[in-house]
Amino acid sequence: MASTDKPDIEASKSEASLPPPPPPPPKRVDYFAVDVALRVLLFAATLTAVVVMSTAKQTEDASVPGLPFRVPVEAKFNHSPAFIYLVAALSVACLYSIITTLASLGVIAKPIYATQFLLYYTIWDVVLLGIVAAATGTAGGVAYIGLKGNSHTGWIKICNVYDKFCRHVGSAVGLSLFASILLVLLVSLSVFSLHSRIRT
């Protein structure tokens, strides 16, 4: 009668010689929910800044050299190219935030396109950050001259007369700075997400 122990020993030896199975790949962490939240905040900040800057208008009586009486002089945001540039840049950022928010919601529904969208987000978020940051700096410089003046060039301050106008401008510049910070966070989030995908 043949023994049945030998095949069992050989089977156990062959199982022992097999390498251990590889560990499962680390689970990819997607931050598209955070991305959507930041883009909604970007939309709210840019829309509010556009509304506040567009309503920056005040009329005050001012003395004109050579005239014995005061005349009404109006201050509006479209009297300054820097403020027009800020409104245009924030309007583009507002529209961009709507489009990318909808795209991020689509990626959450179909994650197969996540890597491709992350690459596009990184590129376009950097471009938009440059536009918004430049507009914020330009408008901020003009607003500072309106607030403090410049004795070296003879530019007088106007915020002591057009206080409401200057409050609108200052609020819009502050919101624009907040939008720039949100864009920095969005760029960082996209780069971090791409980095985690490359490592896996």
Q: Residue ranges of the domains in the chain? A: 31-56+73-199
Q: CB within 8 A of 165, min separation 6: which ones?
A: 56, 57, 58, 75, 76, 159
Whether the predicted pLDDT of 186 surpasses 80: yes
Whether the predicted pLDDT of 19 surpasses 90: no
HSE-CB for 166 with a 13 A CA cutoff: 17
Whether the predicted pLDDT of 22 surpasses 60: yes
Query: What is the value of pTM for the model shown?
Result: 0.79
Of residues 28 and 115, the one with the higher pLDDT is 115
Mean pLDDT of 150-175: 89
Residue 128: band (very low, low, confident or very high) from pLDDT cuts 50, 70, 90 = very high
Give tens-digit pLDDT for 66-101: 777 777 878 888 889 999 999 999 999 999 999 999
Task: Check: CB of residue 180 under 8 Å from CB of residue 132.
Answer: yes
Whether the predicted pLDDT of 26 surpasses 80: no
Residues above pLDDT 90, as percent of the chain: 48
Q: Is the dihedral of CA 174, 175, 177, 181 positive or negative?
A: positive
Whether the predicted pLDDT of 15 surpasses 70: no
Whether the predicted pLDDT of 107 surpasses 80: yes
- Token readout for 193 is 């997400």
